């Protein structure tokens, strides 16, 4: 993976299927002082506040992509991209590079951290793992994920499954990951996080 300047904190990605517990686990890392970049939240922010990205989205999807007050017209965009895979790819190809640039600038400001985390649902699908030193995969069985998301978002099983279908097969992503955290209610996630934290703290750019 990437080699950069010595003494830079490592860039660690954290991903996993929908409802696997990525955010929950990132909060645990935050409690022990690790800075976390939430890529999906950043993407939502940048789609409204990055002028170049806004222009690009309007150029490709029409000015209707934004409301009069400058908010993203999510229903309009969703109506296009969730029925047309090419349009979804196009939108991602506009958004992901802007998020990556923002994430790198954020990372460069975290000089005192032993490593930083970048949380994203689509780390491999977007190719952003190429910019990371290591990737953690949060695993939970599909049935548990469906149950958690149905409860959290008050959505139907079918709606959760539709979101799952937009992601790559789990086994492919686990094979590409360097570490796995199992969040299936049988193992202590706190212990797993602490163990992994110690391991990541002992690594440098030269021995990843
Ligand atoms: P998404 O892919 O939708 O962003 P996520 O992977 O970030 O989801 P979370 O939001 O962290 O997943 O977790 C999904 C739901 O499951 C949340 O309501 C969370 O509180 C709950 N949850 C996650 N892990 C656990 C756990 N170990 N014990 C109990 N509840 C959990």
Q: Which two tokens stand for residue 156?
A: 């139907």
Domain extent, residue 126, equals 1-35+115-203
Q: Is any atom of ligand 1 closer than 6 Å to the C-beta of 21?
A: yes
Q: Do residue 18 and residue 71 come from a single domain?
A: no
Q: Is any atom of ligand 1 closer than 6 Å to the C-beta of 16?
A: yes
Interval between CA 90 and ligand 1 midpoint (Å): 29
Closest ligand 1 atom to 24 CA: 11
Q: Do residue 119 and residue 26 come from a single domain?
A: yes
- Helix 85-108 and helix 51-61: axis angle, to 10°? 180
Q: Is any atom of ligand 1 closer than 6 Å to the C-beta of 20?
A: yes
Q: Do residue 16 and residue 89 come from a single domain?
A: no
Residue 135's domain is classified under what CATH number?
Answer: 3.40.50.300
pLDDT tens per residue, range 107-147: 999 999 999 999 999 999 889 999 999 999 999 999 999 99
Q: Do residue 23 and residue 83 come from a single domain?
A: no
Q: Is any atom of ligand 1 closer than 6 Å to the C-beta of 160?
A: no
Does residue 4 surpass a pLDDT of 50? no
Residue 208 lies in a domain: no
Q: Do residue 154 and residue 98 come from a single domain?
A: no
Q: Do residue 8 and residue 70 come from a single domain?
A: no
Among the candidates 82, 109, 136, a domain finishes at: 109
Residue 123 lies in a domain: yes
Alpha carbons 124 and 127: distance in angstroms, whole number = 5
Q: Do residue 121 and residue 192 come from a single domain?
A: yes
Most distant CA atoms of the chain, gap in Å: 51
Q: Do residue 44 and residue 142 come from a single domain?
A: no
201, 187, 161, 137 alpha-carbon torsion, rounded to 10°: 20
- Domain count of the chain? 2
pLDDT tens per residue, range 26-66: 999 999 999 999 999 999 999 999 999 999 999 999 999 99
Pocket test for ligand 1, best of 148, 154, 173, 189 (most atoms within 8 A of CB): 148
């Amino acid at each position: 993976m990437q080699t950069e300047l010595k003494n830079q904190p490592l860039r660690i990605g954290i991903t996993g299927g929908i409802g696997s517990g990525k955010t929950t686990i990132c909060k645990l890392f935050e409690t022990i002082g690790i800075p976390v970049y939430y890529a999906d939240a950043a993407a939502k922010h940048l789609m409204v506040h990055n002028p170049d990205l806004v222009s690009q989205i309007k150029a490709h999807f029409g000015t209707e992509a934004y409301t009069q007050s400058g908010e993203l017209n999510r229903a309009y965009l969703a109506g296009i991209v969730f029925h047309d895979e090419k349009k979804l790819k196009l939108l991602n190809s506009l958004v992901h590079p802007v998020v990556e640039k923002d994430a790198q600038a954020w990372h460069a400001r975290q000089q005192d951290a032993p490593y930083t985390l970048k949380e994203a649902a689509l780390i491999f699908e977007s190719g952003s793992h190429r910019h990371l030193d290591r990737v953690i995969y949060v695993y939970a069985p599909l049935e548990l994920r469906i149950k958690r998301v149905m409860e959290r978002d008050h959505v139907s099983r079918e709606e959760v499954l539709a979101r799952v279908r937009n992601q790559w097969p789990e086994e492919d992503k686990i094979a590409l990951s360097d570490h796995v955290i199992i969040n299936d209610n049988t193992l202590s996630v706190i212990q797993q996080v602490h163990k992994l934290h110690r391991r990541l703290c002992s690594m440098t750019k030269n021995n990843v």
